[in-house]
Structure 1
């Protein structure tokens, strides 16, 4: 980890204004992924995995209906388009492919032609290799609670949407890094993805420990009423713009509750649905948030207060135009620019996990 990202201090100390919320504070680690070239020995998003050569690469065995959504692209095309966009400036003509990129396109086209010549190229029951989503080492992310001697979490997904929730199917693997000697050099890849947003950009991480408070929807009705009491905010001397006098709970939700972006632990983001508890299919324990896979590191407008101090200039600049994605460094997009929350059993991380789009 050779760079840092720092969340700006919150405009109000939550527990000072509302001591009733202090017991609800939770630790979280914001991952702050940024495009880079991680190695198999690095914690990363979308990077190569420390995968044993003797262990089969995971595939999705579900039936995949290969209908033309208008968005489906080969991984080669997704990556080439991103390279072009990264070189595109608003006052320039669209850049041309380099000779190396043209060769990649030709190989991709030849590969597709071979599959077409061989018959239906994408049988619905053909197993699909999973794509790496995240690799997290315990030494970088101490909030992880791995089973046994494991010190490494690897998260992969199938880049096709799966019913009934129209989201990628996820898989988790815990392992001991020291036990991996012979590393799989060239993992298989799916030919295509349902959407470019299901192809993570390789990113290095700058983990940052923070303290989080719940999304306002996770609070009891009594605590929600406290947040809506403007007199309480004023009596505590909180420096809150009078713009929020009619809706002080909105100030809490935007600036003080759960942090946006990729993170481990903390509180879940809600919004698409009201909160509901997830229970382990094996032991019925209430499951806890493990990893948030986020479409955006911060939102626009007031939500930019969560942009790290090192990124504030980029967050407040006009970031429109091809190749400019300061708040979407991973290029991941789930749902309608939502978050995918992965939950695990607190009694045994090896019990089946579950996931949820919010």
Structure 2
């Protein structure tokens, strides 16, 4: 985490316009994941975990869909590496991107393979140290959150099954150097690219759906009066003034295709947002959130396989988000993960 990422000031101090929002402000920590080579002793997305050698690795033992395009984790990594290298090579117009040998390998990977029905080893999604993440509030005695998931879709929303592990990093001595690999992954969209993170704490306000009706209507009327025609997204409360896009810890949540509703634990307690996993760091409607350090790259993206707004290469549904909620009553209560 040698570089920083800085969110530009909001186009409008919305709490000054609507003082009713001030007591609803929450902090969130934007992770700003970017491709890199994190170690087990660093916060990361998709990087190696500080996993004790004597701690059993988690497996998903639920049923899994046997599609025709299953890949191994090694296949996904190889395909990405080959395409990344190919895009960097200079070539004349009309010349194929891939060599014949590379093309044959890619076609073999895309054809997929069959596999026997067995438990699937979960893969690392995020590792977050409390020292780096101001909005991570670990239980007593812990300073580290590890997030893993099964790289297959489950239930009606076809989301990966999530596993959360809280631990104390100070008591980890002997590390598991070669974690088990899943025999297959359903989709490369569920394989995070190893990324270093650049945590930044900012202020958020509730999404429109979380406001009472009177305030919601006042804000809608205000933004219709005030938004500049040339910069609609920045002045739209939902896109530029309330909930930040991208991977983040804590803060407020937003809903897109599903109705807004609170997440309720089986114990009856309202759950709190823990981690948001986003398909993109920004999109056409959330450009005002692009970190200052990334704005030139966004204006002039090079012709590469990866794009600056998709550093993790994870896609949730049709470019939605996955919000993980936890119960404040007990970390032993299972988390809830929604696509929203």
The answer to whether the superposition gives a TM-score over 0.5 is yes
> Cα deviation per residue 1:134-168 (whole Å; 9 max; x = unaligned)?
00001111321211201100000000111222111
> Cα deviation per residue 1:223-270 (whole Å; 9 max; x = unaligned)?
111112239965xxxxx41568xx999711111110000000011121
Aligned residue in 1 for 2:39: 39
Among residues 272, 277, 290, which one is paired with 1:307 in the alignment?
A: 290
User: Which is further off, 202-211 or 185-194?
Assistant: 185-194
Aligned residue in 2 for 1:241: 228
Among residues 317, 320, 340, which one is paired with 1:335 in the alignment?
A: 317
DSSP 3-state at the match of 2:236: helix
Offset at 1:67?
2.2
The whole-number CA distance in structure 2 between the counterparts of 1:216 and 1:86 is 40
Offset at 1:90?
8.5
Residue 28 and residue 121 in structure 1: after superposition, are their counterparts in 2 closer, same or farther (change >3 A)? same
Residue 97 and residue 12 in structure 1: after superposition, are their counterparts in 2 closer, same or farther (change >3 A)? farther
Aligned residue in 1 for 2:220: 228
**1:212-223 pair list within 5 angstroms:** 212-223=204-215
Aligned residues: 331
The whole-number CA distance in structure 2 between the counterparts of 1:264 and 1:351 is 19
Aligned residue in 2 for 1:78: 76
CA contact (8 A) 2:223 2:237 kept: no
> Cα deviation per residue 1:9-64 (whole Å; 9 max; x = unaligned)?
11001111111111111000000000000000010000000001001100001011
The whole-number CA distance in structure 1 between the counterparts of 2:146 and 2:223 is 48
The whole-number CA distance in structure 2 between the counterparts of 1:231 and 1:81 is 45
Residue 248 and residue 291 in structure 1: after superposition, are their counterparts in 2 closer, same or farther (change >3 A)? closer
**1:80-229 pair list within 5 angstroms:** 80-87=78-85, 88-89=87-88, 92=91, 93-95=96-98, 121-123=115-117, 126-229=118-221
Structure 2 residue runs without a partner (length 5+): none
The whole-number CA distance in structure 2 between the counterparts of 1:32 and 1:226 is 32
Residue 80 and residue 96 in structure 1: after superposition, are their counterparts in 2 closer, same or farther (change >3 A)? farther
For normalisation by structure 2, the TM-score amounts to 0.90
CA contact (8 A) 2:208 2:238 kept: yes
Is 1:292 aligned to 2:284, yes or no?
no
Offset at 1:317?
2.3
The whole-number CA distance in structure 2 between the counterparts of 1:224 and 1:90 is 51
Residue 266 and residue 185 in structure 1: after superposition, are their counterparts in 2 closer, same or farther (change >3 A)? same
Is 1:260 aligned to 2:242, yes or no?
no
Residue 341 and residue 37 in structure 1: after superposition, are their counterparts in 2 closer, same or farther (change >3 A)? same
CA contact (8 A) 1:52 1:182 kept: yes
Is 1:8 aligned to 2:44, yes or no?
no
DSSP 3-state at the match of 2:316: coil
User: Which is further off, 269-278 or 197-206?
Assistant: 269-278
CA contact (8 A) 1:61 1:128 kept: yes
The whole-number CA distance in structure 2 between the counterparts of 1:5 and 1:170 is 28
CA contact (8 A) 2:282 2:309 kept: yes
Aligned residue in 1 for 2:299: 316
* Aligned structure 1 segments of 4 or more residues deviating by more than 4 angstroms: 95-98, 231-234, 247-250
